[in-house]
Each structure stands twice: as structure tokens, then as C-alpha cells.
Amino acid sequence: MRVLAFSCVHLMGREAQGNLGTVDYRSAHELMAYIKDTEPDLVINLGDFTEPFYDKEDVVDTLLPEYRQIEAIRLRGNHDRCLDLPDFVTVDGVRYEHGHKLASGKTSTRAEYIEMARKGAAALTIPIVHGHTHSPYRAETGFPLDVGSITYSQTAALIIDGLHTEILTFAGR
């Protein structure tokens, strides 16, 4: 089975973007085209797709209308935790989740947080694919696999038969 997993699109309307300026979603559009062209067996959206805490409207139809044409399992992230979505799914013996629960304890820097999340993922006895850190990473064995962020690192991942992993890059910007 060919599974395409992506995380952290962070679709947000102008009000939610605030002082971020205009967020560029070209990589997300490229991802949607890639999904349509390659037709993976399963698409898993690992969460933080929208910003429902800050947006008063559904921004999908405005910012990424092609997503409505994609069949995807949608999981809950930390930015969209108010939505009634599952926390994880297991496919071909691989656990897919957003990843925000992998880091436990306090950190003072983003680098420390990412290291803590990666240690949490490596400690699991089941292979895991996650996002959340916005920084792609693949262990030598392929797992744990951090898909990064489609919007910020322009990356997603392809997992084949629960064994082979590949980090995909979308030019976007």
C-alpha cells in the first residue's frame, strides 16, 4: 500500500495570519496536484490543517479548494484539537499521528523541543510517522519518520507497504 502523509498546512484566513504576513500555500497546491497525478492508495492528513481557534470561517474553499476532491484520513493536531478527529491511525503496522504528544517535559529552545519529540518517537515500539515539528527527519531504518510541514519545510512523505519511506519535497516558493 502506498500511503502519502502530510502535516501542518496551517490554512488561515487574513485575520488569523495577523503579523505573519501572507502565508504562501503554493506547496500545498503542488501536493494536491501530486496526489491527483499519482493516486496513492491512502492519504493521511496528520493535523494542523486549519486554524479553527483563530479563524471564524472555513478557509479551505478559499485557500485550497482542491483539498475537497482528495479522499484523506484527517487526524487531530494541536492547532485543530477542538475538532472531532481521531488522534492516530495504524496502517500496515505503522502508527500515524500528529506528534505533539511525543515531547514531554519543558524545553527552552525549539531545537530542544524537536530533539525531545524525536526521542519520544524513537522510544515507541511501533514504527511511527508524525509531523508537528515542521522539520523533516527520517531515521536510518526509515522510522521514526517526521514528515515536516507542507507549508513551512515544503515536505511530505510516502510510505510503501509499511517499510520503505521517502521524504518528498515540493518547490512551492
Q: Which amino acid is at 85?
A: L
CA distances from 40 to 31, 104, 148 (A): 12, 33, 19
Which domain covers residue 90, as residue numbers? 2-169
* Number of domains observed in the structure of the chain: 1
pLDDT of residue 172: 61
Give the three-state DSSP class for 26.
Answer: helix
- pLDDT at position 111, please? 87
pLDDT confidence of residue 110: 82
- The three cell numbers of residue 170 are 515540493
pLDDT tens-digit profile, the chain (173 residues): 999 999 999 998 877 777 676 788 999 999 999 999 999 999 999 999 988 777 767 888 889 999 999 999 999 988 887 778 999 999 999 999 998 888 877 888 888 888 888 888 888 889 999 998 899 999 998 999 999 999 999 999 999 999 999 999 998 64
Q: What is the CATH number of the domain that holds 11?
A: 3.60.21.10
0.75 exceeded by pTM: yes
Q: Where are the alpha helices (DSSP H) in the chain?
A: 14-17, 26-38, 60-63, 110-122
Q: Which residues contact 103 (CB under 8 A, 6 or more apart)?
A: 113, 116, 117, 120
